[in-house]
Chains A and B, each alone.
Chain A
C-alpha cells in the first residue's frame, strides 16, 4: 500500500495563497533568527576580528654586556613585557625569549622559537650547536642550519645593539613553516 509521496517542492503549497504563506513563514522565521545569529557570529568570530596592534618593533634591554660569557656560549634571556591572557592582564612577565651570543664585543641574538613550528630551540653544550627538540632540527652557533633539517630556514636573527654597556634587542616573532622570514602581525 505504497502511498504516493508529495513531491517535496510542492510542500511550498500549490495555490498562490499557500505559496505566499509559505514564503512569509520562511521570511519571518529567518528574521526572528537574525539577532541571535548576529550575536553568535560576532561573539564566535571575535578572536579573528580582534586585530593585533601593529607598530614599531619594541626594543628590550637584556642587561649588561659583561654578564655574557665572552667565549660565544649562548645564553637564554627572557623578554619581559605585559601580557594579556584572556581577561587577565599580567605585567612584567616573560613573553618571549632569545638566545644571546657574545664573541668579543659582538653580540648576536636569535629568537628561541623554531622557524619550523615554533618549539623552543635548546642549546646542546656537548655538540656545541642548537637543537630543536620537537623534530630534531639542528642549527650551528651562528644560527645557520646544520645539515639537512626539517626547518625551512635558519634561526631567526634579531637586531641587536650594544649601548652604554647594555644589550638591546628588537624583539619580534616570525611566521612558522615558510622559507622567507616574515614578521608576525
Chain B
C-alpha cells in the first residue's frame, strides 16, 4: 500500500521534472525560433557585437568546448589514475579518508573554486605568462571541480570488478599494472566513460567559476594562455543588461547549451547501460 503511494509519488515527481524541462525547452524554442530563422548562418559566421546587432556565437561555442575539453583531458586521466592507485596501490588506511575528502570536495560550491582560481591561480599564471585569466585557468579550475566526482565514479566502477579476477591475477603473479591495463580498466571503461561524460556536461554548464578566471574576451581559442569567453559566462555577463534581440540571442545560446547537455546525458545513460549489459 505504502509502496504504491511511494511509487506514484516518484512517478509524479519524475513526470513533473520532465514537464518542467520540456517546458523550458519549448519556451526557449518559442522565444528564439523567429530570431534563429532570421539570423540563420549569421549566428556562426558573424562576430559578437550585440550593440551593433551582430550575434555570432561561433567563437564562444568554441570557447565553451575548448575550456571543457581541456578540463576533461586534465581531470579524467588523473581521476582514473588516482582512483586506481587508492584502490590497488595505496596503503589500505588511506583509501577511506581520501575518498571522504574527495566527496567533501565534490560538495564545495563552484564559486569557491572560482574564487581560488581568481586569487591564486590567475596571479600565478599571470606571473608566468600574462594576462593569467585564460583558457588554461578556466580549464584548471574546472578540472579541479570535476576531478572529485570523476574519481568517485571511477572508484564505484572499480568496486564492481569481480574480485575473482583479481584473485586469479594474484595467483598467476600478474603485475597489478598489467591487471589494470588488460582486465580492470577495459572492463570498467564504459562505466567510467559514462561518469566522465556527465562531468563534461557539468564543465560545459559551469558559469561562475569560469566567468571569474577565463578573461571573457570573445575570441577563438588559440593559445591556452589567452582569454576566452564561454557561452555560459556570456549569458551571466550580459543577460541583466541585454534587451531586445541581444536578450533573445542569449536565450538562443542557452537553448544550445541545454540541447548539448541533454545529448551528453543521453550518451552517458547509454554508456552506463552498455556496462550493465556486459557485466
Do A and B make up one complex?
no
